[in-house]
Amino acid sequence: MAYELKSFEDLLGTEGFSNQLLRNHFTLYHGYVNNTNKLSDVLSTMVREGMAGTPQYAELKRRFGWEWNGMRLHEYYFGNMIKGGRAIDKNSDLYKKIVKDFGSYENWEKDFKAIGMMRGIGWAMLYYDTAAGRLLNVWINEHDVGHLSGASPILIMDVFEHAFMIDYGVKKADYIESFFKAIDWKIDITMARNKLPLIFAER
């Protein structure tokens, strides 16, 4: 079954993000969805035709993870955002967990923003390690390198140049501030997030 494009047109008009920037970014996301579907079809055909052991199959199989993560990470990223933003509830389990694991919300924010300011292309992500019951801020290089096995993504910030350069040039810090003003702290874009209060309550 093919992956379907998700619409994030409701983000148009978000303060700090021009419509040109967002539309270009949506187009990039569409490319990841299309390529994921194309690769899935090609790989299935290769298996049926007895080509699963070939170098061509191996390279396309490796590429699939890159395209798929490019698709899914963009869905998480856009899903993190809402026009006008939505402040984090200081009585929420997530806020309390951030304070517990980082010492304060302010400490967490400084750490997350510092990751976003690191040189290079990639993603800044807040993960929940379900095995240890810990929140971790992590740098993801490209789309498929640096993910924590078994951890659930909570908040995702795109720090590839395409996410900000049309509006901000090389002023990445200004982009990060605009992203924070647009965060939807309801945090409900993945199924894992719906389980977070239960997970936190158990620990």
Smallest CA-to-CA distance from 151 within 103, 99, 92, 193 is with 193
The answer to whether the annotation marks 144 as part of a ligand binding site is: no
The answer to whether the annotation marks 158 as part of a ligand binding site is: yes
Mode of pairing for the β-strands spanning 151-158 and 122-129: antiparallel
DSSP for 138-177, please give it. Answer: EEEETTTBSPPTTEEEEEEEE-SGGGTHHHHTT-HHHHHH
Alpha carbon distances (Å) from 76 to 6, 49, 57, 73, 202: 11, 35, 29, 5, 26
Cα pseudo-dihedral 106, 108, 113, 118, rounded to 10: 140
The answer to whether the annotation marks 162 as part of a ligand binding site is: yes
One-letter identity of residue 100 = K
Residue 129 half-sphere exposure, CB side, CA atoms within 13 Å?
Answer: 12
**Phi/psi of residue 180, nearest 5 degrees:** -65, -35
The answer to whether the annotation marks 30 as part of a ligand binding site is: no
Whose tokens are 């998700």? That residue is 6
Specify binding-site residues. Answer: 25, 74, 158, 162
Specify binding-site residues for Mn(2+). Answer: 25, 74, 158, 162
